[in-house]
Chains A and B, each alone.
Chain A
Amino acid sequence: MSVTQEGHPDTESSFVGTSYHGRSLIGYLFLPALLLAAVVALFVAVSGRELSSGEQRRLTLDNIAVNAWQHLQLSAVSTALVLLIAIPVGILLTRPFARSITPPAIAVFNVGQAVPSIGLIALLAIAVGIGFWPVIFALVAYTVLPVLRNTMVGLRQVDASVIESARGMGMTKRAVLARIELPLAVPIIMAGLRTALTINVGTATLGAFVGAGGLGELIVAGIVQNKQLILIVGAVLVAVFALLIDYLAGIAEEVLRPRGL
């Protein structure tokens, strides 16, 4: 080695950024195509059969559309509320001043998740009556915890030296939160949100028991009337719906993930 000192840029480990998601276009289209095929197959199978009058009344496209719309509303509203509650609370609980109240706060949110959702829905129906909002309340209580926990983990895993250098350059605490901590926590928060969304879509099915509608109505009707076809249609549609939502949430995760991570 010679003691020369020009500033060679050391390029040994440099590489141009690779794309953060490795899926090809075909990879992206596979699941939607599969779900579409399932729905079309279901439609063909049902329309090709002689339907009883009860089945005919239940399995109209209008009816199913109403149920799907109710289901979407239940899932979307509950998830939006979860976001509005869990992210601010998660931020507060990771601030240094809240260190002492973090464990009891987590315990409170834990109760919501520990009680089985069907029990919670039933209790709420008795306590506050049937309909849309008791179901929303139960869904929120059930899924706040995963989002809250991921928000906290996401914020805590941000490298302390990154925060220190930001503070050391004179960024205010609020700026560090908004421009450093939250962006860096997005991947983990999004993972929690995706979990919550998936749980909500599935659990919203139970809303049918307390008159909140949704695709669960088909399943309940199928069981009550002992009509297997209605039951199958309801079950397949719930599954397709849940997979579709999870797929969309997966794409959102990738899009929202900051570049450079």
Chain B
Amino acid sequence: MTDGNDATATPDGGSAKIRLENLSKRFPGQPEAAVDDLTLEIPEGEIVIFVGPSGCGKTTTMKLINRIIEPSSGRIFLDGEDVTKVNPDQLRRRIGYVIQQIGLFPHMTIAENIATVPKLLGWKRERIAERVDELLETVGMDADEYRGRYPKELSGGQLQRVGVTRAMSADPDVMLMDEPFGAIDPITRDRLQNEFLRVQERIHKTIVFVTHDIDEAIKMGDRIAILSDQSHIAQFDTPERILVNPANDYVADFIGRGASLKRLSLSRVRDVELHDWPTADEGASHDEVSRLLQSSDKSAVLILDSQRRPLRWVNAEHLQRTGDGGSLAETGLPPEAVVQPNATLSDTLNEMLTARYSTAIVVDQSHAYQGIVDIDTINETVRSMRTAERGRLRAESSEAEEVSS
């Protein structure tokens, strides 16, 4: 193998936003180190996930970065600067911090909570107020309605949003997030994850994200560090490569059996080719629809309303039942399994299975019909992803051999 360090970053420059160097943490009275000699580089603008079983030291490792837990030995670099010994309070004001319990201040309003770090940094009052409103709107909360409320008046999902918002308030380059979506119901969690990814597409923060949930890791991560005992890195790679090519049994075990299925979380509806489907306007006559159905190889026609929003599926049986010249307004099946382009294929498949359809309707933001994704498309995507990854890995390993020989 070649010396890979040249390609990545060096402590004093390059693309690593955070560099951990031989970092260890020993807690007094414990025989083994909680974090043992960890060296890791976190690239700028990426979400890096620390994932591993409970007690593997992932949270401790994250907390070493902003020195909420002081390392016993080793060094931490932020932007190439050694921050192992700088004033920890100053350091933390540069790093956003979200914990699972969120930890909003119950005696302060939402606005005061969000304003915490800007206030510490001495921002002017007007600038803080502006920033608070802007951030609340970013996460879809009406500023006029929420800024004066107290945390106890908010739901779990809203508290979580405010927690993330508070961490972003002073616009830090780096954010540390410890199971930020851990204590929320699955539906809200999914929505918050998607929301967060959408925001991240715009702001490109460097994020260290801790979770014990491999599915969340695959969904959220640009890169995943799978950690075993004492925060040893079992594999540090992109989700695709970890799924296709787990480095060892530990990683394979941790991913579990559903690796192929999990790969579906990696691609989104907008990445695959949509199929056409025969569609008819809601005003279309019985005749028109049956002609359309006969001329296509599909078993049903999708009826759209005037704004091109899916209304009903109509098949031959429905047509027969209403008879010639009958109205189509009362017949057909409801359009379940409707997804938007940013839904993952995993979500899409889930929708199909729930609705017991072999197709999912894709609509845009305004719910207008875009096309169809079917089971075959999903199947094909899984297969091609696997082949592509295998090919790339093979190419890379032969390249490496050439260089070393």
Question: Interface on A for B, CB 8 Å cutoff?
Answer: 1-17, 159, 161-172, 175, 180, 183-184, 258-261
Contacts and interface: CB of A to CB of B under 8 A. Distances in A.
Q: How many B residues are at the interface, by size bracket? A: 35 or more
Interface in B138-180: 139-142, 146, 149-158, 163, 166-167, 176
A17 to B, nearest CB: 6
Interface in B307-355: 338-340, 342-343, 347-348, 351, 354
Nearest to B198: A5
A8 B120 contact: no
A17 B107 CA distance: 12
A6 B151 CA distance: 23
A183 B367 CA distance: 49
A9 B158 contact: yes
Given A5-B195, A7-B139, A170 B93 contact: yes
B107 A260 contact: yes
A170 B103 contact: no
Interface of A is mostly: loop
Nearest to B106: A260
Interface of B: 66, 68, 88-93, 97, 99-109, 116-117, 120, 139-142, 146, 149-158, 163, 166-167, 176, 187-188, 191, 194-195, 198, 338-340, 342-343, 347-348, 351, 354, 367
A167 B194 CA distance: 29
B347 to A, nearest CB: 5
Nearest to B88: A170
A165 B164 CA distance: 12
A170 B89 contact: yes
B148 to A, nearest CB: 9
A10 B189 CA distance: 12
A258 B151 CA distance: 13
B187 A4 contact: no
A6 B68 CA distance: 35
Contact of B93 (A165, A169, A180, A183): A169
Contact of B158 (A14, A165, A183, A260): A14
30 contacts: A2-B351, A3-B339, A3-B348, A5-B194, A5-B195, A9-B158, A10-B158, A11-B155, A13-B155, A14-B155, A15-B153, A17-B150, A159-B101, A161-B99, A161-B101, A164-B99, A165-B99, A165-B103, A165-B104, A165-B163, A168-B66, A170-B90, A171-B89, A172-B89, A180-B105, A183-B107, A259-B107, A259-B150, A260-B108, A260-B151
Contacts, number: 124
Contacts of A13: 154-156
The list of the 4 closest CB pairs from A to B, nearest first, reads A7-B140, A165-B103, A260-B150, A161-B101
B92 A170 contact: yes
A41 to B, nearest CB: 44
A118 B68 CA distance: 51
Contacts of A175: 120
Given A9-B158, A13-B155, A165-B99, A3 B340 contact: yes
Nearest to B103: A165
Contacts of A9: 140-142, 146, 158
Given A14-B154, A17-B153, A169 B120 contact: yes
Nearest to A168: B97
B128 to A, nearest CB: 14
A16 B153 contact: yes
